[in-house]
Amino acid sequence: MAKELINPKDVHEPTWPYAHAVKTGNTIYISAQLPLDPEGKLVGPGDPAAQAEQVFRNLQNVLKAAGASMEDVVKLTTYLLDFEYRPAVMEARNRFFGNHRAPSILAVVNDLPVEGALVEVDGIAVVDN
């Protein structure tokens, strides 16, 4: 089965040798999205709400480039540096996902791959062919 690498122009260049997503058949595997703007600069230092907004915007842009939307997401994993960030992150998530409720995992971790990042989200989406 063919695999298409997805690296949209409105999302920062990958920070390491990876693709923002891979589409194979009708499934899209989305790399963990960080709170980086299109130029690769950290958004909202110290502000989990601003960072979550950017993370979900990046996720949305990757999905759009793959021919999908937030409603096509079938699984999310959210990584937080502190459980206290959860309300701010959930508020942003709810704005982007509306009534769509994808199965999800929430993990509190010790570190994230970009200095100053407080939140990171990855996922899987399935689209109709």
The residue ranges of every structural domain in the chain are: 3-126
Separation of alpha carbons 75 and 111, rounded Å: 22
Q: What number does CATH give the domain 3-126?
A: 3.30.1330.40
Q: pLDDT per residue over 86-111, tens digit each? A: 999 999 999 999 999 999 999 999 99
Average pLDDT, whole number, for the chain?
96
Q: pLDDT per residue over 74-91, tens digit each? A: 999 999 999 999 999 999
pLDDT of 44 reads 97
DSSP 102-121: --EEEEE-S--SSTT--EEE
Q: pLDDT per residue over 33-51, tens digit each? A: 999 999 999 999 999 999 9
Name the pTM for this structure: 0.95
Separation of alpha carbons 83 and 129, rounded Å: 38
Separation of alpha carbons 117 and 88, rounded Å: 14
